Chain A
Amino acid sequence: MTAQSKAISNPDRPRRAVALISGGLDSMLAAKVIQEQGIEVQGLNFYTGFCVEGHTHAIRAKVRAKPKRNNALWVAEQLGIKLNIIDVSEEYKDIVLNPRYGYGQHLNPCLDCKIFMVNKAQAWGFMEENGFDFIITGEVIGQRPKSQRKETMPLIARESGAQDRLLRPLCAQHLPETLPEREGWVDRDALYGFHGRNRKPQMALAEQFGLTDYAQPAGGCCFLTDKSYSAKLADLWSARGKRDYELDDIMLLKVGRHIRPSETYKLIVGREEGENNYLEGYRKQFAHLRCESHRGPLTLIDGAPNAADIEQAARIAARYSQGRDAAEVTMSVHHPNGVSEVLTVTPYAPQEIPERWHV
């Protein structure tokens, strides 16, 4: 007997729901609506490697000065629920590289992502040792152009394998009855019929629940919805001649100024102290440049530059040092094999670094 059939066969057992918690308002409200019906809710949050939270806050010094929080944990605290954070970054590659339903506006595979996460929640939640009965998400019909549409709702339920155990409390009244509704575990009349991009109903519901502090990140919580980030990822694939990435690659796309003067190499120039400190962690893996005669950023060289490329790289990196207006600047080049050399170069003038080099 499976965990699912056991759950059904014991009608007196209190019901439990697992909620996908992104840290934003909608998933917080969805969990709260179900809690209000007396159901025990626990949260699940997935770490894909592309999460906006965390890394950028930690890296950039100016942001670092501000207090930061993990919004998913914050939501769990506000709701008084447990939250499990699961690292899916390795498995998630296949979603980013081979999305069955394609990308959204940028390299965001939102529909495949939602199917993947609901499937993971199902696998985790319906395990006998965890014993959850259904899954809830904060999806709202019409909220997102790629993944949250009337026709994608049944698709996600079907393709994830969750079927009628997937409940969307915020728009349930626009959707067919799910198992928790049919079985009377939750009251359909006390669910909602939100739709569209208007956020006012959610904000009003938050106020009704006394929830005043919540995150509403523009474009969601994923770097793949960001135009500039997606352009950097596309450039990485193009330069390497294959669509693949390691976790370090996608971390580095979040940091620094990315300049590609040729197909053979790219520079990652730290923009401030926090980024320089972060890039220091990669100095053993990458050839890198330092300015010896003036203050300047750490610059990583990604690729396979030849000697002429190295000199060009030094001139570009010198442009971002305090010696940018000097006739000559001394730069040191450090190769991953431990060999170092010193170059004296004339920094590029701004017009010598064309806009198209900026990834």
Chain B
Amino acid sequence: MSEAQLDTRGMLCPIPVIRTQDRVRELAAGDVLEIVATDPGVLHDIPSWCRVHGHELLETSETNNEIRIRLRVCAP
């Protein structure tokens, strides 16, 4: 189990979702990915993407216009 980070600051949706999708593809089931973003669209789109692909949304938080989302990768 590893913990990975993805910086999508300054990117607008759907790019953060695409980057998340590509990064998760490189991770193993059980790994955790933390995404940092500035587009508030991710608060809707990444949880939606997690539901579509069966990944577990662990946490979302927002401070100083910076959004952090943590998810656990589930088996395909």
Contact = CB atoms under 8 A, between A and B. Distances in A.
A47 B52 contact: no
B14 A68 contact: no
Interface string A30-60: 0000000000000000010001011101110
Given A69-B44, A70-B45, A82 B14 contact: no
A58 B15 contact: no
B44 A67 contact: yes
B13 interface: yes
B75 to A, nearest CB: 13
A51 B12 CA distance: 12
Given A77-B51, A85-B21, A54 B44 contact: no
Interface of B: 10, 12-15, 17-18, 21, 39-41, 44-45, 48-49, 51-53
Given A58-B41, A70-B41, A77-B51, A87 B13 contact: no
Interface string A265-299: 00000000000000001000000000000000000
A245 interface: no
Contacts of B21: 84-85
Nearest to B52: A76
B15 A73 contact: no
Contact of A58 (B13, B18, B53): B13
A251 B44 CA distance: 21
A4 B10 CA distance: 41
Q: DSSP majority for the B interface? A: helix
B45 A69 contact: yes
Contact of A54 (B12, B49, B52): B12
Nearest to B9: A281
A185 interface: no
A55 B13 CA distance: 6
A87 B41 contact: no
B48 A74 contact: yes
A84 B21 CA distance: 8
Contacts of A73: 17, 45, 48-49, 52
**Chain A contact surface mostly:** mixed
Given A54-B12, A54-B41, 11 more contacts: A47-B15, A51-B14, A58-B39, A59-B12, A70-B14, A70-B45, A73-B45, A73-B49, A73-B52, A76-B52, A82-B52
A82 B76 CA distance: 10
Contact of B13 (A54, A67, A82, A83): A54
Contacts of B18: 47, 85-87
7 nearest CB pairs, A to B: A54-B13, A73-B48, A76-B52, A58-B39, A58-B12, A70-B45, A55-B12
A69 B48 CA distance: 9
Contact of A68 (B10, B17, B41): B41
A52 to B, nearest CB: 12
B29 to A, nearest CB: 16
A57 B45 CA distance: 12
Contacts of A54: 12-14, 41
A281 B53 contact: no
B37 to A, nearest CB: 10
B4 to A, nearest CB: 19
Nearest to B44: A69
Contacts of B44: 67-70
27 contacts: A47-B14, A47-B15, A47-B18, A53-B13, A54-B12, A55-B13, A57-B13, A58-B39, A58-B40, A58-B41, A59-B12, A68-B44, A69-B45, A70-B44, A70-B45, A73-B17, A73-B49, A74-B48, A81-B52, A82-B52, A82-B53, A83-B49, A83-B52, A85-B21, A87-B18, A251-B12, A281-B10
